[in-house]
Every structure is written in structure tokens, then in C-alpha cells.
């Protein structure tokens, strides 16, 4: 591996560790099922908004079995502020049916089983595997996608390739905390479309010769 790239990735993970020593899970949840539902709801929606609406949903249903007592319409009415509500409500009802029918109501610790659930793609499965089961995973969200390009950790714009590139750059035992630290950094310091690539000390350190706007245009 390119030494400069390896050094940069080590500098990034060390800096993020200092900035964000602890990595609490952003989505409020009480068990694996409620985390799965919260992650599903977070598609195209902020974690903050998800955390505002999940108390009402989880007060009615904290498990797949309890969720089946609600109709899609009832779920829809509660999750509407998250956007894409009809699709998300149908997915929550649908995955609850499968969890009860096939997995005794539990969330399976299996990539394949998770990704077969309605509304659950690879990213949602990765978050649940990492944040609930502690399995090494690198869920790629919009912040990670942007920052891995800004920091030169990938040349790709494809999520699948970015995930492969990051997994090859960083040791497996830090993936779960690192993905959260990159998200925290993105939220706090690197808003989309508002930088010329020279504002933070991290980018200045990594790319002292970077010309503003060359790598990260507005
Ligand atoms: S300098 Fe700009 S592009 Fe680099 S991390 Fe900071 S905000 Fe993001």
C-alpha cells in the first residue's frame, strides 16, 4: 500500500480519536429490534428527527411481536415526520412479520438474513451488525462517502468500492468506532458544499499543497 496513504489514514484515525474519544450510538434504542427500526427510519432523515419520533412508536411496540399489533396505517401516522412514511411503515410491518415467522421475533445476527428483510439494505444491516452485535462493519453514509473522497482515502464515488477501500486502509478492530467518528466529524466540521478543502487543520495537515477548490469544489 502507498506509504503516504497509509500515513494519512493513521493520522486521520488518531486525530478523530482525540476529537471524539467516545462513540455513543446516535439513534436511541432499547434493543436490537428498536435499533433496526430506528436505522430504517433514518434513511433520508436526520438522526435527530428519528429520535424525536421513535419514543411514540416504541411506546406502542418495542418488539416485532408487538409491532404486528399495529396496522401499516398506524405506523405510518407515527413515522410520517421522517419522510417516505408509507414505504417505511410497510417495511417495518413486513420485517416484523418475517422476524416473528422465521426468527422467533429476534433480530438475526446474520448479514444474509438482515439484508433479506424489507427496507433493509447493506448499510442498514451494517449499522445493526456493528452497533448492536459488535461485528466489524463499515456502514457508508453520506458523511463517510464525502470525507473519504475529501481526505483522499478513495477515488471512487461508488459506496461498495468506498467500503472496500476503507476496510483495506483501517484495521478491523477500529471500523465500528471509526465509522461513527467520521460521521461525528462530518456533522460538526465538514458540512456538504460549504468548503474549499482548506479550512480545517486536518485537511491542511494532510494536504499542505492543496489548492482551494481543487479537490473539494463547491
Ligand atoms: S477543510 Fe473543508 S473539506 Fe476538509 S474536512 Fe474541513 S470542512 Fe471538510
Looking at CATH, the fold of the domain delimited by 32-131 is given as Endonuclease III; domain 1 (1.10.340)
Please choose from 199, 206, 207, 210 the residue to mutate so as to test ligand 1's pocket, defined by most ligand atoms within 8 A of CB.
199
Same fold, 3-22+139-206 and 32-131: no
Spell out the CATH class of 3-22+139-206: mainly alpha
52 pLDDT higher than 60: yes
Domain boundaries defined on the chain: 3-22+139-206, 32-131
For ligand 1, is residue 82 a contact (CB within 6 Å)? no
Q: Quickly list DSSP for the chain.
A: --HHHHHHHHHHHHHHHHH-S----SS--SSHHHHHHHHHHTTTS-HHHHHHHHHHHHHH-SSHHHHTTS-HHHHHHHHGGGSSHHHHHHHHHHHHHHHHHHHTTSPPS-HHHHHTSTT--HHHHHHHHHHTT--------HHHHHHHHHTTS-S---HHHHHHHHHHHS-GGGHHHHHHHHHHHHHHH--TT---S-SSHHHHHH-TTPPTTTSS--
For ligand 1, is residue 216 a contact (CB within 6 Å)? yes
Among 77-86, 164-173, 183-192, the least confident range:
183-192
Q: Tell me the per-residue pLDDT of 87-119, one tens digit each, with 9 for 90 and over.
A: 999 999 999 999 999 999 999 999 999 999 999
For ligand 1, is residue 90 a contact (CB within 6 Å)? no
Q: What is the mean pLDDT of the chain?
A: 94
5 pLDDT higher than 70: yes
**Whole-model pTM over 0.85:** yes
Amino acid at each position: 500500500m502507498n506509504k503516504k496513504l497509509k500515513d494519512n489514514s493513521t493520522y486521520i484515525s488518531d486525530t478523530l480519536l482525540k476529537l471524539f474519544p467516545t462513540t455513543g450510538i446516535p439513534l436511541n434504542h432499547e434493543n436490537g429490534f428498536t435499533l433496526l427500526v430506528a436505522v430504517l427510519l433514518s434513511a433520508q432523515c436526520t438522526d435527530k428527527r428519528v429520535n424525536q419520533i421513535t419514543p411514540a412508536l416504541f411506546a406502542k411496540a418495542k418488539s416485532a411481536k408487538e409491532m404486528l399489533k399495529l396496522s401499516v396505517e398506524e405506523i405510518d401516522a407515527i413515522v410520517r415526520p421522517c419522510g417516505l412514511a408509507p414505504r417505511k411503515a410497510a417495511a417495518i410491518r413486513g420485517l416484523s412479520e418475517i422476524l416473528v415467522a422465521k426468527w422467533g421475533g429476534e433480530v438475526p445476527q446474520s448479514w444474509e438474513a438482515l439484508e433479506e428483510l424489507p427496507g433493509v439494505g447493506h448499510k442498514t444491516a451494517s449499522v445493526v451488525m456493528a452497533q448492536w452485535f459488535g461485528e466489524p462493519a463499515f456502514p457508508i453514509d453520506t458523511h463517510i462517502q464525502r470525507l473519504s473522497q475529501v481526505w483522499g482515502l478513495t477515488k471512487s464515488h461508488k459506496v461498495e468500492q468506498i467500503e472496500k477501500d476503507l476496510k483495506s486502509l483501517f484495521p478491523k478492530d477500529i471500523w465500528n468506532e471509526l465509522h461513527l467518528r467520521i460521521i461525528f466529524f462530518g456533522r460538526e466540521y465538514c458540512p456538504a458544499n460549504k468548503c474549499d478543502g482548506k479550512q480545517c487543520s486536518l485537511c491542511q495537515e494532510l494536504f499542505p499543497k492543496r489548492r482551494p477548490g481543487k479537490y473539494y469544489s463547491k
